[in-house]
Amino acid sequence: MAEEQDKTQNQEAPEEVSQEAPVETPEAAEAEPSLEAQLEAARQEAADAKEQALRAAAEAQNARRRAEKDAENARKFALEKFAGDMLAVVDNLDRALASADRENDTLKPVLEGVELTLKAMVDALARHNVEQIDPTGEPFNPEFHEAMAMVPNPNVEPNTVIDVMQKGYTLNGRLLRAAMVVVAKGA
């Protein structure tokens, strides 16, 4: 009889196991996403996260480049106001030499000193990338020249600079002061 009970229990056990196993119905399959759908969703999330990371890295690199460019421009053009103020000194030294009486022997040492001072000032400005614009004989360029007058002159092409009233200057290629010029006009 003990053997019969064991057989009965063994027969009952598989029934219990089969009762515990979940039965998948079509409604349950629709309610829960399939593994493939979950995998595809995870892949999409990973691709989105990768794209966001790439965009953030590109934005950080762009910000770094802008900061480097701003720092470089600050270094290049830090002297802009100071150089602009020094141009008045150069102009005054030029005017002093232009108006001086070169025939007077007593003024020759003073004129020499003014010439040397002017040369030293122009050289100092040049060492800091301040360059003179002396456009005599060149075509008029409104980016670097300011026309003060137009004079008919049949000997030169129209729109050619024939006289410079005040020299212009650039600082590292950027216009610091436009040259004031007289331009030839056509007949």
Q: 153: how many CB neighbours lie within 10 A of its CB?
A: 17
Q: How far is CA 116 from CA 21, 82, 94, 123, in A?
A: 105, 21, 11, 10
| Rounded mean pLDDT, 48-64 | 93
Question: How does pLDDT run across 119-163, given as a tens digit for each residue?
Answer: 999 999 999 999 999 899 899 999 999 999 999 988 888 899 999
The pLDDT value given to residue 31: 53
Residue 3 C-alpha from the chain's centroid: 93
The whole-chain average pLDDT of the chain stands at 84
Q: Does position 172 have pLDDT exceeding 50, yes or no?
A: yes
- Which region holds residue 69: left if phi is over 0, alpha if psi is between -120 and 50, else beta? alpha
Look at residue 153 in the predicted model and tell me its pLDDT.
Answer: 87
Beta bridge partner(s), residue 185: 152
Predicted confidence at residue 155, as pLDDT, reads: 86
The share of the chain scoring above pLDDT 70, in percent, equals 82
Q: What is the CA radius of gyration of the chain?
A: 43
CATH class of 78-185: mainly beta
Segments making up each domain of the chain, as ranges: 78-185
Q: Give pTM, 2 decimals.
A: 0.61
Average the pLDDT over 112-119 and give the result.
94
For 92-114, write each residue's pLDDT tens digit: 999 999 998 888 888 889 999 99
Single out the residue of 131, 101, 126 nearest to residue 114, CA to CA: 101
Q: Is residue 91 very low, low, confident or very high in pLDDT (cuts 50, 70, 90)?
A: very high
